[in-house]
Amino acid sequence: MQSQSPKTVNHSRTTITELMIPSYANFGGKIHGGILLSLMDKVAYACAAKHAGTYCVTVSIDGVEFLQPVEVGQLVSLHASINHVGRTSMVIGIRVVAENIKTGEIKHTNTSYFTMVAKDDDNKPTEVPPLVLESDDDIRRFLEAIKRKELKANYKTELANEKTSMQIEENLHLLEKERVVVKR
Ligand SMILES: CC(C)(COP(=O)(O)OP(=O)(O)OC[C@H]1O[C@@H](n2cnc3c(N)ncnc32)[C@H](O)[C@@H]1OP(=O)(O)O)[C@@H](O)C(=O)NCCC(=O)NCCS
């Protein structure tokens, strides 16, 4: 396959802005986390597909923490940019902000990282263009993505080891400070 021309981060930078309408709210009047996740998936797709020039799929999502509630009537903007490319995968960083239209107050609700994979017409992972890093921010985000990948791989290995070696009796003392009643 012919090697592809590199593309800049700006080439695929994408923002979606959406008004939070009442049907997006939960019983407490705040916006459902699932609505925000769906919008994040959409903007990640748009950004990844623009870089890859192909259909893409979501493989994993990191860093989803909703630290601030989003209210009905607010304008939510999701800013997506490509942070990292592998051979067929891309990491898309998404910054979510909510704006109170009346006061102009803007709050940062979360930043998450979507790993997307480019697919060819046979639904097989396919190579994506290299990334041109034009600014220190582009370089920092790329390096951070490498670090996150390493940390995640270590975490996965440690978790798998813990699971296979987990002895219930040896670890029962951990339940003493938990709010549980053991009845067996
Ligand atoms: C993800 C998927 C493409 C991997 O396919 P595969 O045949 O195992 O392909 P590979 O092993 O070559 O992996 C492809 C890329 O995905 C990356 N990848 C695979 N699993 C991953 C994971 N859990 N987290 C992050 N990246 C992952 C690989 O590192 C590789 O990236 P690289 O080419 O940049 O090095 C495949 O499992 C798939 O299509 N999953 C379903 C995705 C989907 O439908 N998403 C919608 C959600 S409902």
How confident is the prediction for the chain on average, in pLDDT? Answer: 96
* 55 assigned to some structural domain: yes
Contact 81, 7 (CB under 8 A): no
Q: Could you give the percent of the chain with pLDDT greater than 90?
A: 92
Tell how strand 131-132 and strand 7-8 pair up.
parallel
* 151 assigned to some structural domain: no
* 167 assigned to some structural domain: no
* 12 assigned to some structural domain: yes
CATH of the domain at 100: 3.10.129.10
Please tell me the predicted confidence (pLDDT) of residue 1.
Answer: 56
* 182 assigned to some structural domain: no
Please state the rounded mean pLDDT for residues 96-122.
96
27 forms bridges with which residues in the sheet? none
Dist CA 76 CA 99 (whole Å): 6
End-to-end CA distance of the chain: give it in Å, rounded.
61
Residues with CB under 6 A from ligand 1: 57-60, 86-89, 115, 117, 125
Element (H, E) at 159: helix 136-165
Between 116 and 68, residue with greater pLDDT: 116
Query: Distance, CA 54 to ligand 1 centroid (Å)?
Result: 15
Q: In what order do the strands lie in the sheet with 106-119?
A: 14-19, 75-85, 89-99, 106-119, 55-62
Mutate to test the pocket of ligand 1, among 45, 54, 59 (most ligand atoms within 8 A of CB): 59
Q: What pLDDT digit, counting tens, does each position of 70-96 carry? A: 999 999 999 999 999 999 999 999 999
Element (H, E) at 177: none
> How many separate domains does the chain show?
1
* 163 assigned to some structural domain: no
Q: Which two tokens stand for residue 121?
A: 């017409």
* 144 assigned to some structural domain: no
Give the residue numbers spanning the domain of 91. Answer: 7-133
Element (H, E) at 109: strand 106-119
Residue whose pair of structure tokens reads 């978790």 in the numeric block: 159
Q: What pLDDT digit, counting tens, does each position of 1-57 carry? A: 557 899 999 999 999 999 999 999 999 999 999 999 999 999 999 999 999 999 999
Mutate to test the pocket of ligand 1, among 89, 91, 113, 150 (most ligand atoms within 8 A of CB): 89
Please tell me the predicted confidence (pLDDT) of residue 129.
Answer: 98
* 156 assigned to some structural domain: no
To the question of pTM greater than 0.75 for the whole model, the response is: yes
Please state the rounded mean pLDDT for residues 137-141.
98
